[in-house]
Amino acid sequence: MIPLIQQEVVQKEWVSVVDIMDFIAISESTPGPFAVNISTFCGISASGFAGAIFATLGVILPSFLIILYIAKKSDRFLNNKYVRFALLSVRAAIVGLIGYVIFEFMELAFMNNIYFDFKALIVFTLLIGYFIFRKIQKKKANPITIILLSAFLGIFFYGFIP
Protein backbone atom coordinates (compact mmCIF):
# COMPACT_ATOMS: atom_id res chain seq x y z
CA MET A 1 0.00 0.00 0.00
CA ILE A 2 2.83 2.41 0.84
CA PRO A 3 4.24 2.59 -2.72
CA LEU A 4 0.75 3.30 -4.06
CA ILE A 5 0.26 6.18 -1.63
CA GLN A 6 3.66 7.64 -2.32
CA GLN A 7 3.06 7.53 -6.03
CA GLU A 8 -0.36 9.18 -5.87
CA VAL A 9 0.20 11.74 -3.16
CA VAL A 10 3.79 12.83 -3.69
CA GLN A 11 3.57 13.07 -7.46
CA LYS A 12 0.55 15.34 -7.16
CA GLU A 13 2.55 17.41 -4.66
CA TRP A 14 -0.03 17.17 -1.91
CA VAL A 15 2.61 15.97 0.49
CA SER A 16 6.39 16.42 0.39
CA VAL A 17 8.76 13.44 0.25
CA VAL A 18 10.09 14.26 3.73
CA ASP A 19 6.64 14.59 5.29
CA ILE A 20 5.40 11.31 3.89
CA MET A 21 8.14 9.43 5.78
CA ASP A 22 7.01 11.07 9.04
CA PHE A 23 3.38 10.31 8.26
CA ILE A 24 4.15 6.65 7.63
CA ALA A 25 6.19 6.32 10.84
CA ILE A 26 3.47 7.93 12.96
CA SER A 27 0.64 6.03 11.26
CA GLU A 28 2.37 2.79 12.09
CA SER A 29 2.55 3.65 15.78
CA THR A 30 -0.92 5.08 16.32
CA PRO A 31 -4.06 3.00 16.84
CA GLY A 32 -6.51 2.27 14.06
CA PRO A 33 -6.31 0.96 10.52
CA PHE A 34 -3.05 2.13 8.92
CA ALA A 35 -4.87 3.17 5.73
CA VAL A 36 -7.18 5.50 7.67
CA ASN A 37 -4.28 7.04 9.59
CA ILE A 38 -2.18 7.74 6.54
CA SER A 39 -5.03 9.06 4.41
CA THR A 40 -6.18 11.37 7.18
CA PHE A 41 -2.63 12.73 7.35
CA CYS A 42 -2.38 13.19 3.59
CA GLY A 43 -5.83 14.80 3.45
CA ILE A 44 -4.95 17.35 6.13
CA SER A 45 -1.65 18.13 4.47
CA ALA A 46 -3.32 18.62 1.09
CA SER A 47 -6.29 20.73 2.17
CA GLY A 48 -7.04 20.78 5.87
CA PHE A 49 -9.87 19.17 7.82
CA ALA A 50 -12.17 18.83 4.81
CA GLY A 51 -9.34 17.13 2.93
CA ALA A 52 -8.95 14.70 5.81
CA ILE A 53 -12.64 13.79 5.73
CA PHE A 54 -12.69 13.23 1.97
CA ALA A 55 -9.41 11.31 1.89
CA THR A 56 -10.60 8.99 4.66
CA LEU A 57 -14.02 8.44 3.10
CA GLY A 58 -12.28 7.79 -0.19
CA VAL A 59 -10.04 5.08 1.21
CA ILE A 60 -12.94 3.43 3.06
CA LEU A 61 -15.47 3.48 0.23
CA PRO A 62 -14.08 0.78 -2.12
CA SER A 63 -13.69 -1.68 0.77
CA PHE A 64 -17.15 -0.87 2.04
CA LEU A 65 -18.90 -1.32 -1.30
CA ILE A 66 -17.07 -4.50 -2.29
CA ILE A 67 -17.65 -6.17 1.07
CA LEU A 68 -21.25 -5.02 1.20
CA TYR A 69 -21.85 -6.82 -2.08
CA ILE A 70 -20.01 -9.96 -0.95
CA ALA A 71 -21.74 -9.98 2.44
CA LYS A 72 -25.16 -9.83 0.79
CA LYS A 73 -24.35 -12.87 -1.34
CA SER A 74 -22.44 -14.66 1.40
CA ASP A 75 -25.31 -16.68 2.85
CA ARG A 76 -25.70 -18.43 -0.48
CA PHE A 77 -22.07 -19.17 -1.32
CA LEU A 78 -20.73 -19.91 2.17
CA ASN A 79 -22.45 -23.30 2.15
CA ASN A 80 -21.03 -24.19 -1.24
CA LYS A 81 -18.72 -27.22 -0.99
CA TYR A 82 -15.91 -25.67 -3.03
CA VAL A 83 -16.06 -22.37 -1.16
CA ARG A 84 -15.64 -24.35 2.08
CA PHE A 85 -12.55 -26.07 0.64
CA ALA A 86 -11.13 -22.74 -0.49
CA LEU A 87 -11.76 -21.10 2.89
CA LEU A 88 -10.16 -23.99 4.73
CA SER A 89 -6.90 -23.61 2.84
CA VAL A 90 -7.08 -19.81 3.15
CA ARG A 91 -7.24 -20.31 6.93
CA ALA A 92 -4.12 -22.47 6.82
CA ALA A 93 -2.35 -19.90 4.66
CA ILE A 94 -3.34 -17.10 7.07
CA VAL A 95 -1.85 -19.08 9.96
CA GLY A 96 1.42 -19.25 8.01
CA LEU A 97 1.29 -15.55 7.12
CA ILE A 98 0.62 -14.44 10.70
CA GLY A 99 3.35 -16.83 11.80
CA TYR A 100 5.86 -14.88 9.78
CA VAL A 101 4.51 -11.52 11.02
CA ILE A 102 5.06 -12.79 14.60
CA PHE A 103 8.60 -13.71 13.64
CA GLU A 104 9.17 -10.22 12.20
CA PHE A 105 7.75 -8.47 15.27
CA MET A 106 9.91 -10.63 17.55
CA GLU A 107 13.02 -9.66 15.63
CA LEU A 108 11.95 -6.01 15.81
CA ALA A 109 11.17 -6.14 19.53
CA PHE A 110 13.98 -8.33 20.85
CA MET A 111 16.94 -7.44 18.66
CA ASN A 112 18.31 -3.98 19.33
CA ASN A 113 20.72 -3.65 16.39
CA ILE A 114 22.82 -6.74 17.12
CA TYR A 115 22.24 -6.82 20.88
CA PHE A 116 19.53 -8.84 22.55
CA ASP A 117 17.06 -6.59 24.35
CA PHE A 118 16.57 -8.04 27.83
CA LYS A 119 14.01 -5.41 28.82
CA ALA A 120 11.81 -6.61 25.95
CA LEU A 121 12.14 -10.16 27.24
CA ILE A 122 11.05 -9.06 30.74
CA VAL A 123 8.03 -7.19 29.33
CA PHE A 124 7.12 -10.20 27.20
CA THR A 125 7.42 -12.57 30.18
CA LEU A 126 5.19 -10.31 32.31
CA LEU A 127 2.57 -10.20 29.54
CA ILE A 128 2.66 -14.00 29.20
CA GLY A 129 2.28 -14.05 32.99
CA TYR A 130 -0.95 -12.06 32.71
CA PHE A 131 -2.16 -14.41 29.94
CA ILE A 132 -1.49 -17.52 32.07
CA PHE A 133 -3.02 -15.85 35.15
CA ARG A 134 -6.29 -15.38 33.23
CA LYS A 135 -6.14 -18.97 31.97
CA ILE A 136 -5.80 -20.22 35.57
CA GLN A 137 -8.86 -18.14 36.46
CA LYS A 138 -10.57 -19.94 33.56
CA LYS A 139 -11.13 -16.59 31.88
CA LYS A 140 -9.91 -15.16 28.61
CA ALA A 141 -7.15 -12.57 28.46
CA ASN A 142 -8.59 -9.20 27.40
CA PRO A 143 -6.75 -7.86 24.32
CA ILE A 144 -7.41 -4.25 25.38
CA THR A 145 -5.82 -4.97 28.75
CA ILE A 146 -2.83 -6.50 26.97
CA ILE A 147 -2.35 -3.36 24.84
CA LEU A 148 -2.69 -1.00 27.84
CA LEU A 149 -0.46 -3.17 30.01
CA SER A 150 2.23 -3.40 27.33
CA ALA A 151 2.19 0.38 26.77
CA PHE A 152 2.54 0.92 30.53
CA LEU A 153 5.35 -1.66 30.82
CA GLY A 154 7.10 -0.06 27.84
CA ILE A 155 7.05 3.38 29.47
CA PHE A 156 8.15 1.90 32.79
CA PHE A 157 11.02 -0.27 31.57
CA TYR A 158 12.37 1.97 28.79
CA GLY A 159 11.66 5.33 30.44
CA PHE A 160 12.40 4.77 34.10
CA ILE A 161 14.91 1.95 34.28
CA PRO A 162 18.41 2.80 33.02
Judged by CB under 8 A, the chain residues 38 through 67 that form the site for other proteins are 40-41, 44-45, 49, 52, 56, 59-60, 62-64, 66-67
Dist CA 35 CA 27 (whole Å): 8
State yes or no: residue 150 binds other proteins (CB under 8 A). Answer: yes
State yes or no: residue 149 binds other proteins (CB under 8 A). Answer: yes
- CB closer to other proteins, 12 vs 131: 131
Binding to other proteins, residues 128-147 (CB under 8 A): 128, 131, 140-144, 146-147
State yes or no: residue 30 binds other proteins (CB under 8 A). Answer: yes
Dist CA 54 CA 44 (whole Å): 10
State yes or no: residue 85 binds other proteins (CB under 8 A). Answer: yes
Considering only 4, 18, 95, 136, the residue that binds other proteins (CB under 8 A) is 95
Considering only 21, 50, 70, 132, the residue that binds other proteins (CB under 8 A) is 70
State yes or no: residue 26 binds other proteins (CB under 8 A). Answer: yes
Would you give the distance in Å from CA 18 to the centre of its chain?
23
- Quick note: the x/- pattern for other proteins over 100-119, rule CB under 8 A, is xxxx-xx-xx----------
Considering only 18, 71, 114, 136, the residue that binds other proteins (CB under 8 A) is 71
